Structure formats: C-alpha cells, structure tokens
DNA sequence: CGGCTCTGTGCTAACGTTAGCACTACTGGT
DNA sequence: ACCAGTAGTGCTAACGTTAGCACAGAGCCG
C-alpha cells in the first residue's frame, strides 16, 4: 500500500507537506499541492482511515443489525438507510442475527472492535447483558422492536393498533372463530400485535374462545405453512385468519393456494405487510400496510443529525408510524356473503 | 474508550503485559492473565482493530457491492455471504450502486480507504477506470456480471443457456410472435440473455421478425409494467413473452393481472427467477430458476479460502451455474390449446 | 541595516497495539 | 558460591496520519 511517506520520498518533501497538500491546507503553495496530488494519483494513493481514526477521527461506518436481510421489511430498511447514509459519507455494515442473541452478541463485539460510528438495531427477544453494555457505549437506535434496557431512541410502527384494525375488520364482518398467527410473545412486536388482536375481540364483544393465537418462531415461512395445514385439518376450523408477520403471510398464502381453499368464501384472510405478489394472490389480499420505508428514512435522518452535531443529544426520542388496512378481496362475512371493504 | 493503557495503570503493570495477557501469551503467568482479563471485562475494554491494522493485522471486513438490496437475487446473495463470512470471523459491508458507475466509484474509494479485506462485486455496465484500478489493488471477485477488465475470478450463471431454454420452450409450443423483455445490452448479463433468446429463435428455424427485444433499464419494475401496456395496446400483439430479470417479471405479472389478461390462453409467459408469489400467480408462472443461493455460497467459500491461505493464489477462477426451467401453467400453444410442460 | 511579519516547509509527538529485545529474580546443577 | 537456564515482566520502536511548534528565507518598515 502506498503511504504519504512514499509520495514524500518521491517528491523530496516531508510527510507533513504531503499530508497538508492532500488536506488542501492554505499554507501549502499551489505548486506543491499540484505536484503532490499528481503523484498521489499516479501512485494510486488511498488514505488510510484506520490511521486517521487513531488520531481521533471518527469512523464513517454505521452498522445495521437485523434478523434476516431476505425479509423484505429488512431489505427495504437496509436500502433506505444505505441510500441516506451514503449521501452523507457513511458506509453501512450489515450484520444478520437470525434472531439469535448469541449471534447478536458476536456481531456487537465485532462492531465495537471495529469502532463503528453508530448501530441501528432490531434487537433480539432478550439481548444478552453484554450486548446491552456494548450498545450503551455507542450511539444507537432501535428499529421496529424496542427493548426497555436499551436507550429510548426508537423508530417503530404501532403494531398494536395495526392488528387491532385488522382484527376489527373481521369482527365487523361477523366472524366468531378467528385465528391469529404470529411471532412469539417475548418479542415486543409479537406481544403488541397479540394485544391488538385480543383487544379488537374484546371491543367487538366476542366470547373468550372466539380468538385463538397460534404463536411460533419470529419469522418463519414454514410455521405459516404448517399452521394452516394443522388448522384446516383439525376440528373447529376458523372462519378467518389474521397474520402477524410477512414471512408467515408468505407461507400461509402458499399453502392456501396449494390446497385450493376458496378465499373469501371458505376462509377470510388478513395478511401482514405488502409484497408485490399480495395484490395478485387469489382475490387480492387484504393486508396491513406499514410505512417501513418512511420509518427507515426518518431513522436515517435522525441518526445522521445525531452523528453530525457535536453535542451528544442522547435525549429520548421515539417515532411511531401508524399502519393502515389495505382492502382487497380476501375477506367476507363468514356465511359466504361477500362484503370486502365493509369495515 | 478504554485502552490497554488504562488497564495497565489500574493494575500497576505495563501495557505489554496487558496486551500479552489478553492475547493469551504463554509467557504470562496465569495469575496475571486472570487479573488482566478480570479488569478488562470490568472496565468494558474492547480491542481497537484500527490500531491492530496499523501493526499489519488485516481487516476482517469484506465488502459486497451490488445494485440494490431490495432485489431478491441480491438479498439472497447478501444473506448467504453474511452467514458464511460471519462464521469465519468476517463482517460484511454493504454498498449499493443503483447501477450507477459514479456511485460505484464513490463506494470503492470509501472501501479502499477503510482497507476492506476483499470486495465481492456485481459490477456496473461500464465501470469507471479508477474503479478498475481500485479493485485490482484488492482481492476481489465478480458476481453474476463479468467485466473483462477486472480479474477473471467470477461466479455466475449461464444466462445465455437459461434464456435459450426458456425461449425454446415457447418455440416448441409453436409461438411465432415472441417478445423478450430484458435489461440493456451493455450489461454482460443483458447481452448473454439476449443472445440466448436469439439463438433459440434461430435454432427453431423462425423468421427474423418472430422475436422482438424490448430492452430497458437494468432492473425496473416500471419498465415491465409499461412495456406490457405498450405491447398489448399496439399492433402485432405477441403471443408469448420471455422475461430477462426478476424486477421486470414482477412488473409484468402485476400489469397482466391488473388487465385481466388470460394466461396462457391469450398470452404465454416465461418469467425470470423464482419468487414466493410466482407459484400462485394466475395459473402458476413457468419461469427460469437460478441457483443463486448455491452460487453465493460457493463464492463465499472460495473467498474465505482465498483470504485464509497466505499465498495470493490469484489464478483465474470461474464458476458457472446452470439455470433450469420450472414448468407451471403460464405457457401453452398459441392456438389456444393448453400443453404446459411439452418442451 | 536591524527587527518585523509572512509564506512555506520540516520536525516531533501522539493515537493504541504488538513484537523484538532487555532485564530481573529465581531455580537447579556443579 | 557461581553460572546457565528459565519464567515473568518492562522498554522501545513501529505502523500511517495529523497538529503543534519551530524555523528558514523573503519582503518591508523605520
């Protein structure tokens, strides 16, 4: 690797002069600057950020810690962050945890060792205490999920309200056997969505056994497929399904279409998230739309401001985005009548 | 930030002793090691990789440079690389170029300054010459697309053969007005897919005007939607469509289902890639399946070996994965008869 | 013409870590 | 009692860059 010293020796000047010329220091003559820049370009010199960091310069790397980049929520977030960060000179480091707190800890250790400027994290269900310690030593912000022992900087969506609306839509159509398929209750999002489901039932004046919750692993296509198979072949088949994650929705839709279940005649479905295929699935999937992109942009801008302004304004900051129900054709009243959009 | 010096002062030993204790040097007594580790843990010490790198240690960051993480091809690649790299102690840096060579160059400059250990890149159509220079100074490997002026380390798929098969399937069913929708010819992949399309027509003994190519931006859902709209409303409506990118396929499917086009009776379609929704779209989408995951894993393992083994075995290395045609219900002979799978 | 400012450059230390060498205090053999 | 060997630790330099200070030479004023 070419260093400032190599350039200095070649031109017969000192390293300081080279450094200053490259930094466009006003004390250096234009002629010297020109010669230095020429040589630097010739020799393929690229400044060493590691060395700069040792002199107190801060890292230009922001880390994103998420469960799985293949989930479109997270790839949307990654894209939005990357785009915004890049324009401010930051690079994005990607760490996948697969919802495993040990992997999460491993990543956070590496990120700390690499002295990243900040961490944007979708925390696992119950982060290891060392993870919490490492995060607290860095500028960080939580995304989607919110763990109380981490800071109160958080960008998320109103999961409870989103599921309340989704469920209320079914209740309004007269369903009395509704199954909710969602992630584990340990996850803040899982708990919130379940609360939303339950309160919609309560508010609809339904009996306790009107709603069943089928909780499974956080983000599993398989869990969706299998649960559908089990529910449809068991006794007391529900007349409606509300879903609580994107991956789950993908699995459910696939299985329903494989089994040829008539939607919404035999079964009503409300999905979660909005993927390209959801609009052309069966009669069109009625689903919970979430402004993930806007949330990610908001988070990126907040973090940039946080990093650019010197005083560490670590004050609590929370942004909650609302969800909305996208009405298509996958819900109807349980007696077979069709009334999509009658929320 | 806590340094080895802080620990040394607290324990009344030298920095060297602390460093050696943490490195588990056999010359240090067990008792000292214990005390040092205790103190390090107490004080929340995290080694500074920037400083280590200055002493010749290599970076543990591998960069992935791709057009857009939201494209499922790339998110699959990112996931697979991340998973494999993480288990070997590497972190993944994510850079999105949006197929813009200037953005590509900006990223490569940053990556070089950050002294990443290696770069895995899906190069843009015509990389800037400085980009080539920067890449050549680093261990790197190309993915999917292959630019001749970069090294000959490349992992990709046989695009030409994949499109030849897709097109041949339609030709065999008797189609004589086939449109190909794909990315620009400047892209190595775009050119290869177009070649495949054309040679299938030639081999099928079709006249020159049997196939039309509609080329557009590399990876655009909109281009898919718009081209379908234009083709269907114009004269000489094709009886079959072959698609040459995932995003294009998403746009086309959306538009076809919005317009209520009867597939395969009115129009046959062969897609590109295989997304969850493709199996439940209309009659099921016949599509080109590509072993992206296997390719990414292969690439990750190759790069790991390249980085772990000292001698820079930069010898040419090329791996080509084959594609396969996944037969579902979206193709039939143009006279209205249905014969999916009669390739 | 001595002392001043101004311009352009060099020297040196420092950042945190590690490796080579040096040093001290034992142990055991003769 | 003396020397060799060894275990345990400290000192110092080096990595590439930058900032503070020093310094040489030129031009200018009194």
Span A231-267, pLDDT tens digits:
999 999 999 999 999 999 999 999 999 999 999 999 9
Across the interface, whether the CB atoms of B276 and A279 are under 8 A apart is answered no
Using alpha carbons only, give the angle B58, B15, B88 rounded to the nearest 5 degrees.
25
We report the CATH number of the domain holding residue A163 as: 3.40.50.2300
A178 and A283 within one domain:
yes
Residue B66 lies in a domain: no
Asked whether residue A156 carries a pLDDT value surpassing 50, the answer given is yes
- B54: which chain A residues are within 8 Å (Cβ-Cβ)? 50-51, 54
Asked whether residue A339 carries a pLDDT value surpassing 50, the answer given is no
User: Which chain C positions come under 7 Å from a protein C-beta?
Assistant: 7-12, 14-20
CA A123 → CA A46, A55, A108, A306, B62, distances in Å?
Answer: 36, 32, 11, 20, 23
What is the residue range of A16's domain? Answer: 4-47
Size of interface A-B (CB pairs under 8 A): 158
> What is the pLDDT averaged over residues A172-196?
96
B194 and B90 within one domain:
no
Characterize B259-279 residue by residue with b for buried, 16 or more Cβ atoms within 10 angstroms of its Cβ, and e for exposed.
eeeebbeebbbbbbbbbbbbb
pTM exceeding 0.85: yes
Predicted pLDDT of residue A336:
60
Q: Which two tokens stand for residue B329?
A: 């219900």
The separation between CA A278 and the C-alpha centre of its own chain, rounded to angstroms, equals: 20
Residue A115 lies in a domain: yes
Residue B52 lies in a domain: no
Domain boundary among B246, B275, B290: B290
pLDDT digits (tens, 9 = 90+) for A28-85: 999 999 999 999 999 999 999 999 999 999 999 999 999 999 999 999 999 999 999 9
Asked if B341 contacts B327 with a C-beta cutoff of 8 angstroms, the reply is yes
Give the phi and the psi of residue B307 in degrees, each rounded to 5. Answer: -80, -30
pLDDT digits (tens, 9 = 90+) for B273-327: 999 999 999 999 999 999 999 999 999 999 999 999 866 566 778 999 999 999 9
Residues near A148 by beta carbon (within 8 Å), at least 6 away in sequence: none
Asked if A221 contacts A251 with a C-beta cutoff of 8 angstroms, the reply is yes
Asked whether residue B189 carries a pLDDT value surpassing 60, the answer given is yes
Q: Which residues pair with B272 in a beta bridge?
A: B288
The whole-angstrom separation of Cα B245 and Cα B189 is 10
Across the interface, whether the CB atoms of A69 and B46 are under 8 A apart is answered no
Across the interface, whether the CB atoms of B96 and A115 are under 8 A apart is answered no
CA B187, B190, B196, B202 dihedral sign is negative
What SS3 state is found at B308?
helix
Predicted pLDDT of residue B336:
60
Using alpha carbons only, give the angle B143, B149, B155 rounded to the nearest 5 degrees.
20
Q: Please, is B41 exposed, middle or buried when counting C-beta atoms within 10 Å of its C-beta (0-12, 13-18, 19+)?
A: exposed
A207 and A168 within one domain:
yes
Asked whether residue A155 carries a pLDDT value surpassing 60, the answer given is yes
Across the interface, whether the CB atoms of B280 and A72 are under 8 A apart is answered no
Residues near B67 by beta carbon (within 8 Å), at least 6 away in sequence: B74, B96, B97, B98, B99, B122, B124, B218, B219
Across the interface, whether the CB atoms of B91 and A107 are under 8 A apart is answered yes
Q: Which two tokens stand for residue B333?
A: 């002979």
Least confident segment among A21-25, A60-64, A334-338, B31-35: A334-338
Question: CA torsion, points A110, A111, A112, A117, in degrees to nearest 10?
Answer: 160
Q: Which residue is nearest to nucleotide D13 (CA to C1')?
A: B55
Residue A223 lies in a domain: yes
Smallest Cβ–Cβ distance between B75 and the set A70, A92, A253 belongs to A70
Predicted pLDDT of residue B218:
84
Residue A342 lies in a domain: no
Q: Which two tokens stand for residue B301?
A: 């393992």
Predicted pLDDT of residue A219:
83
Asked whether residue B191 carries a pLDDT value surpassing 50, the answer given is yes
- B93: which chain A residues are within 8 Å (Cβ-Cβ)? 61, 91-94
User: Which chain D positions come under 7 Å from a protein C-beta?
Assistant: 7-12, 14-20
Predicted pLDDT of residue B151:
84
Predicted pLDDT of residue B133:
97
CA A83 → CA A89, A309, B70, B175, distances in Å?
Answer: 10, 20, 12, 43
pLDDT tier, A312 (very low <50, low <70, confident <90, very high otherwise): low
| Residue B84 CB neighbours (<10 A) | 19
B147 and B79 within one domain:
yes
Predicted pLDDT of residue B209:
87
Q: Which two tokens stand for residue A297?
A: 């942009």
Listing DSSP states for A204-229 in one string gives TT--GGGEEEEE--TT-HHHHHHHHH
Q: Please, is B243 exposed, middle or buried when counting C-beta atoms within 10 Å of its C-beta (0-12, 13-18, 19+)?
A: buried
Across the interface, whether the CB atoms of B91 and A96 are under 8 A apart is answered no
B306 and B233 within one domain:
no
Indicate if CB(B48) is under 7 A from strand C.
Answer: yes
Indicate if CB(B16) is under 7 A from strand D.
Answer: yes
Residue A61 lies in a domain: no
Residue B235 lies in a domain: yes
B305 and B285 within one domain:
no
Using alpha carbons only, give the angle A299, A300, A305 rounded to the nearest 5 degrees.
100
Give the phi and the psi of residue B246 in degrees, each rounded to 5. Answer: -65, -45
Closest nucleotide to A53: CA versus each C1': C15
Asked whether residue A342 carries a pLDDT value surpassing 60, the answer given is no
B141 and B34 within one domain:
no
Predicted pLDDT of residue A152:
85
B242 and B182 within one domain:
yes
Residue A330 lies in a domain: no
B201 and B233 within one domain:
yes
A98 and A19 within one domain:
no
B120 and B42 within one domain:
no
Radius of gyration of chain A (CA): 26
Predicted pLDDT of residue B340:
47
Closest nucleotide to A4: CA versus each C1': D16
CA of A199 vs chain B CAs: smallest distance (Å): 32
Among candidates A303, A204, A298, A285, which has minimal Cα distance to A246?
A: A285
Number of domains within chain B = 3
Indicate if CB(A9) is under 7 A from strand D.
Answer: no
B281 and B300 within one domain:
no
The percentage of chain A sitting over the pLDDT mark of 70, rounded to a whole number, equals: 96
SS (H, E, C) A12-33: CCCHHHHHHHHCCCCCCCHHHH
Asked whether residue B18 carries a pLDDT value surpassing 90, the answer given is yes
What SS3 state is found at B91?
strand
């Amino acid at each position: 690797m070419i260093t400032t010293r190599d350039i200095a020796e070649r031109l017969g000047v000192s390293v300081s002069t080279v450094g200053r010329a490259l930094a466009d220091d006003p004390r250096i003559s234009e002629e010297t600057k020109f010669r230095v820049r020429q040589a630097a370009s010739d020799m393929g010199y690229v400044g060493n950020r590691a060395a700069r960091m040792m002199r107190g310069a801060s890292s230009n790397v922001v880390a994103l810690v998420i469960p799985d980049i293949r989930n479109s929520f997270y790839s949307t977030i990654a894209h939005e962050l990357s785009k915004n960060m890049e324009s401010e000179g930051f690079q994005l480091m990607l760490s996948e945890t697969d919802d495993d707190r040990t992997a999460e800890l491993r990543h956070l250790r590496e990120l700390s060792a690499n002295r990243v400027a900040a961490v944007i994290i979708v925390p696992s269900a119950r982060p290891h205490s060392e993870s919490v310690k490492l995060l607290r030593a860095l500028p960080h912000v939580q995304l989607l999920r919110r763990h109380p022992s981490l800071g109160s900087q958080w960008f998320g969506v109103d999961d409870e309200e989103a599921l309340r609306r989704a469920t209320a839509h079914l209740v309004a159509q007269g369903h009395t056997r509704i199954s909710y398929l969602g992630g584990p209750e340990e996850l803040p999002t899982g708990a919130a969505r379940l609360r939303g489901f339950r309160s919609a039932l309560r508010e609809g004046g339904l009996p306790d056994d009107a709603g069943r919750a089928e909780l499974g692993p956080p983000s599993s296509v398989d869990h969706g497929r299998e649960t559908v198979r089990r529910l449809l072949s068991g006794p007391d088949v529900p007349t409606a399904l509300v879903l609580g994650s994107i991956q789950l929705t993908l699995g459910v839709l696939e299985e329903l279409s494989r089994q040829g279940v008539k939607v919404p005649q035999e079964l009503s479905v409300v999905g979660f998230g909005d993927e390209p295929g959801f609009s052309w699935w069966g009669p069109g999937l009625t689903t919970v739309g979430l402004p993930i992109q806007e949330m990610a942009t908001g988070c990126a801008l907040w973090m940039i401001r946080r990093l650019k302004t010197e005083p560490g304004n670590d004050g609590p900051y929370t942004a909650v985005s609302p969800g909305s129900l996208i009405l298509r054709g996958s819900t109807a009243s349980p007696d077979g009548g069709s009334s999509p959009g009658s929320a």
